Amino acid sequence: MNSIKPLTNRAAWKALAAHQKKIKGRHLRQLFAADPKRGERLTVEAAGVFLDYSKNRVTGETLRLLLQLAKESGLRRRIDAMFTGDKINLTENRAVLHVALRAPKTAKILVDGKNVVPEVHAVLDKMGKFADHVRGGGWKGHTGKRIKNVVNIGIGGSDLGPVMAYEALKHYSRRDMTFRFVSNVDGSDFVEAVHDLNPAETLFIVSSKTFTTLETMTNAESARAWLLKGLGGRVKAVAKHFVAVSTNAEKVAAFGIDTANMFGFWDWVGGRYSMDSAIGLSTMLAVGPKRFRALLDGFHQMDEHFRTAPFEKNLPVLMGLISIWYNDFFDAQTVAVLPYENYLKRFPAYLQQLTMESNGKHVTLEGKRVNYETSPIYWGEPGTNGQHSFYQLIHQGTRLVPCDFIAFAHALTPLGRHHDILMANVFAQTEALAFGKTSEQVRAEGAAGLLVPHRVFEGNRPSNTILADRLTPEVLGKLVALYEHSVFTQGAIWNINPFDQWGVELGKALAQRIMPELESKATPKLTHDSSTNNLIRRYRKLTRG
């Protein structure tokens, strides 16, 4: 198994801790002044994605030690283990092969001695045929009308990827079709999603890896009832208006969906890594099979870069290491992800599951409590909106918030000066964060007295800038894979399992216990703590009298 030393005993870790003490006071102004080429040197490009990491509080020595840490942590071995289908998800005894979802037809990736790539392509072909059929109007609803509305029902990884991708690629989507996404068990989500839809023209995709998730199954039942009500209660109608994406054929059949209309995937695809599996069916229906393949190709290009590039030129590795630097040595608690591309408005929400469900762990692979911090909190909003909201804290607050700025050379919808203005803001923000404004500069601008400290920007706020040509399906794939592998890098160094999610189970189990206590006619005997008991009693009184 694992022969590496505990993280805090590794030589590079200790050296980084000592090194941090030496350089923590060093300002980005000094680092840039000492090296006029720093802004050109500390950059790397792969598969058309450019990363400028020069505005980070790192020196050559920091990078050397971080790279050494990656080496001492066995990162190379772990990457190889993932790509070759080893069961690296130890607690669930599963391989972790989202990279197989975007592997070319000719690739060979074995799980339990069986090449999984042909199955991946068989499902892709089936999805493609189905998508063409629906988009071309050949697939008719129960009353003979063509499908105009697609509603994806799913939650977590079975929702966030599809919504994010739909929003990100809306520019390329069929504008004569309506796409909606229902996730929350709060009934208003479903009611609002279908309020203006005609059931005769609506297709539901029930997306659930397990096909047991409470929220999804509750919404799917309500969708079936809504459909049957709208189509005069004809049960036969379900077949023309429901398809499923799942790994669980038995449950799909039990729900009443013909398994011929089921699109499968496999237990070696984690929910939060599944947007490029059949879970992406809504994406394919929106943008078409060809563009979906381009998305996969983008993922694959970044996979290959991650798998083969030396660590010092490896985008995901560098981003993962830099994030560890702030998280574990500067006590930074969060990372802000700031896309300057409105189509990426759901990208931060998508990343929240990817990063925090993966690396929000408190024990090592060997089950020992970690004595260091694991995943930071990822959050964000598109720029420039965030600038008029929370950026105040990033510029002048007391917390260190490393930022990822994401921008594109070309707008998808060019409009007058808009794009230049947008991009000027990206560059201005990273410059302002890094270099700030001194009290001397503030005074020279005419401010005096009390106003001076209020107008000082300390600077030394770190950021990455990620720049690509334009937001195409291919580039979206590269971007998502970049973060997937950055998360992998972090998890490998922290020696945790990024691929399970036991932390979601307790709340689920307790909700199952509380549900009958809310719904029972007779007054239930409550045995929770006094707060929970009291809240349940109060809710019952307000709703049942």
Give the C-alpha separation, 469 to 48, whole Å.
7
**259 and 126 Cβ atoms separated by less than 8 Å:** no
**How far is residue 369's CA from residue 363's CA, in Å, rounded to a whole number?**
4
Which of 136, 129, 183, 186 shows the shortest CA–CA distance to 156?
183
- Residue 498 binding ligand F6P, by CB under 6 A: no
Which one is catalytic: 195, 236, 388, 454? Answer: 388
Closest C-alpha to 10, from 302, 335, 371, 439: 371
Say which of 357, 381, 474, 484 is annotated catalytic. 357
Q: How far is the CB of 19 from ligand F6P (least distance, A)?
A: 37
208 vs 314 by CB, closer to ligand F6P: 208
CB of 534 to ligand F6P, least distance (A): 27
Among 100-108, 153-161, 254-262, 522-530, the segment contacting ligand F6P (CB under 6 A): 153-161
Helix axes 473-494, 289-308, angle to 10 degrees: 40
Does residue 327 bind ligand F6P (CB under 6 A)?
A: no
Residue 183 sits in the site that holds ligand F6P (CB under 6 A): no
How many CA atoms, within 13 angstroms, populate the side-chain half-sphere of residue 446? Answer: 0
d(CA 62, CA 8): 17
**In this chain, which of 198, 210, 261, 533 binds ligand F6P, going by CB under 6 A?**
210
Helix (H) or strand (E) holding 284: helix 281-287
**For this structure, is 14 an active site residue?**
no
357 in catalytic set = yes
Per CB under 6 A, the segment of 208-216, 317-325, 489-497, 514-522 that binds ligand F6P is 208-216
Active site residue 395: no
Query: By CB under 6 A, what part of segment 434-453 binds ligand F6P?
Result: none
Q: Are 354 and 484 in contact (CB under 8 A)?
A: yes
How many CB atoms are located within 10 Å of the residue 469 CB?
13
Selected from 157, 230, 380, 382, the binder of ligand F6P by CB under 6 A is 157
**Of positions 42, 49, 153, 155, contacts ligand F6P by CB under 6 A:** 155
- Closest approach, Cβ 451 to ligand F6P, in A, equals 50
Q: Which of 251/443 has CB closer to ligand F6P? A: 251
What is the per-residue binding string for ligand F6P in 342-361, x denoting contact by CB under 6 A? ---------------x----
**280 contacts ligand F6P (rule: CB under 6 A):** no
Q: Which of the ranges 114-122, 202-210, 331-339, 513-521 carries the binding residues for ligand F6P, by CB under 6 A?
A: 202-210
- Mask 233-272, x = binds ligand F6P (CB under 6 A)? --------------------------------------xx
Tell me how far, at minimum, the Cβ of 359 lies from ligand F6P, in Å.
Answer: 13
Catalogue the E-assigned strands of 56-156.
110-111, 114-115, 149-153
CB–CB of 215/185 below 8 Å?
Answer: yes
Whole-Å CA distances, 463 to 54, 403, 404: 8, 5, 6
Q: What's 370's DSSP letter?
A: P
Catalytic residue among 24, 192, 508, 519: 508
| Choice between 245 and 344, CB closer to ligand F6P | 245
Nearer to ligand F6P, 244 or 337 (CB): 244
Pick the binder of ligand F6P from 152, 208, 465, 489 (CB under 6 A).
208
Q: Is 156 exposed, middle or buried (0-12, 13-18, 19+ CB in 10 A)?
A: buried
Which tokens belong to 305?
């870069």
- CA–CA separation, 277 and 270 (whole Å): 10
Q: Which active-site residues does the annotation give?
A: 357, 388, 508
Footprint of ligand F6P on this chain (CB under 6 A)?
155-158, 208-210, 213, 216, 271-272, 357, 501, 504
